[in-house]
Structure 1
Amino acid sequence: MGVHLITGAGSGIGAAVAALLADRGDELWLLARTAARARELRARFPDSRTVVADLTEPAALTRALEPQGLPDRLDSLLHIAGVLEPGTVGGFDPAVWQRTLAVNLLAPGELTRLALPALRAAQGHVVFLNSGAGLHAPPGLGGYAASKFALKALAESLRAEEHRNGLRVTTVYPGEVDTPMQVRLHESLGVPYVPQACLSAASVAAAVVGVLDFPPDGTLSELMIRPGV
């Protein structure tokens, strides 16, 4: 039975990943933004443990997590939470930059630092859910793409640094996925939304769990997933 710490388990890909791991009896630690969200997660995944911490405040993660604690051993840390606020570089408010970078980059970096002792103890796996925008920056998504490009760099450095400790690090780059975030993005851009043209959250979740289950003699360093339609 594996032990996994997951961010973003409240909806979309994160919820689908949590469901797959819960169904096979793994132990889940789910990060929740508020106590109310933690109650929702426990109702959905009754055998899970929840820890409350706000990813928009990376500098406060140590203080938030200390009284709650983390497991002594972690088989995986799954960074799935993310925010996307469309807009042009010329139109971005500094607050948008700060929130985007906090949730998509700084919080994953800090949470990884805090979880490293438990990950090293289990020779675990860190998975960063990135995006196609982390490889090719489209217009109107500059802030999001910048955070995801930087997340790619974070993963590469972590992989090189922790290889000697037996850790595996994988970045997953899905294309468009049928999630609430994708619906909001299309609405904000005024673009028709066609769910059938997207990957399903379940398909991406299956790929993430497959990454975790890859034999220990190798690492899937990067995985790109594109819609089949």
Structure 2
Amino acid sequence: MKKEFWNDSVVVITGASSGIGNALLEELAIYPCQLVLLARRAGDIAEPKSKHKDCILHRVTCDLSDPSSVRDAIDWIVQRVDRVDVLFNNAGITAHGRFDSLSMEVYQKTFATNFFGPVQFIRGLLPLVSKAKGNIVTTSTVSALYGVPGRAAYSASKSALHAALESLRIESIELGIGVSLVCVPYTDTALRTSGLDAEGKVLSEAPAKGKRKSAKEVAHVLMAVAKDKEARLVTFNLSGKFLEWMRFFSPKFLEKILYKKLYDDFKTH
């Protein structure tokens, strides 16, 4: 009988206190594995509703926007686990505002959390991932596939991370690790109430209109991707696939669609 993939595995999850990260915790805690759970406030990481008796939870404080906090988290992890089978690079922040209205501080904060922090963290744990021939699975967005109006800082930070991790994937072929990017659609999370507005204040917006995925649904996709080292760029709804293809075949048409759909998000007032 084939061993269950998650049994005895060591899994690292960033952004584990809420949203998709917390959904991953809930879904993985039923297996006999070690879960290394990171959040800015590790004390907010709740006990899962169901937990295997041999599931070990490690709660680690880590603010991805703070290099010293990232270093401390890396040091803590390498002293306590001998490998990382799956690294769910999940934490992130959004920022809303026109290109010309976003303060430079917002650009810097967004890149600190979405690019520099994850790059530093992944680099620090790469020896443990390599030892396990594991998989790095990044929660990304379709906004990384094209510069989305009203989301300049967010799109740019996620797009930059894509490029860096694609480089890592090619460079790591001989190591046997997987590097996957998953562009999730609108999801029921607190992203729009914990991000930044153009001035750097806490964003407070209503959830996106239209059908949204649950955090649990997205967690299931991420878990499936973690089992497939051949997965590269994953989009799993029609809007994501549309943007992925149209950026190559008809960018002018795509820009017209984005202009019309998101006009209220970037129009001048």
Q: TM-score range by the shorter chain?
A: 0.7 to 0.9
Shift of 1:80: 0.5
Matching of residues 16-165 of structure 1 within 5 Å: 16-33=23-40, 37-41=41-45, 43-44=47-48, 47-58=56-67, 60-66=69-75, 69-165=79-175
Contact 1:74–1:118 (Cα < 8 Å) also in 2: yes
Contact 2:18–2:45 (Cα < 8 Å) also in 1: no
Shift of 1:136: 2.2
1:203 matched residue in structure 2: 217
Kindly provide the CA deviation profile for residues 128-173 of structure 1, in whole angstroms up to 9, marking residues without a partner as x.
Answer: 1110100122211000000011111011011011111111110000
Distance 1:44 1:20, change over 3 A: closer
Other structure's SS at 1:177 match: coil
Structure 1: give runs of 5+ residues left out of the alignment: none
Shift of 1:189: 8.6
Kindly provide the CA deviation profile for residues 46-70 of structure 1, in whole angstroms up to 9, marking residues without a partner as x.
Answer: 8410222221113552245425635
Q: How many matched pairs?
A: 220
Distance 1:70 1:227, change over 3 A: farther
Give the number of the structure whose residues are more often helix, by fraction.
Answer: 1
Distance 1:39 1:136, change over 3 A: same
Contact 1:159–1:169 (Cα < 8 Å) also in 2: yes
**Pair member with larger Rg:** 2
2:234 matched residue in structure 1: 223
- AA aligned opposite 1:75: D
Alignment TM-score, normalising by the size of structure 2: 0.74
Alignment TM-score, normalising by the size of structure 1: 0.86
Indicate the RMSD between aligned Cα atoms, in angstroms.
2.5
Separation in structure 2 between the aligned mates of residue 151 and residue 67 of structure 1, nearest angstrom: 24
Separation in structure 2 between the aligned mates of residue 101 and residue 28 of structure 1, nearest angstrom: 27
Contact 1:198–1:227 (Cα < 8 Å) also in 2: no
Query: Are 2:14 and 1:7 equivalent residues in the alignment?
Result: yes
Shift of 1:225: 1.8
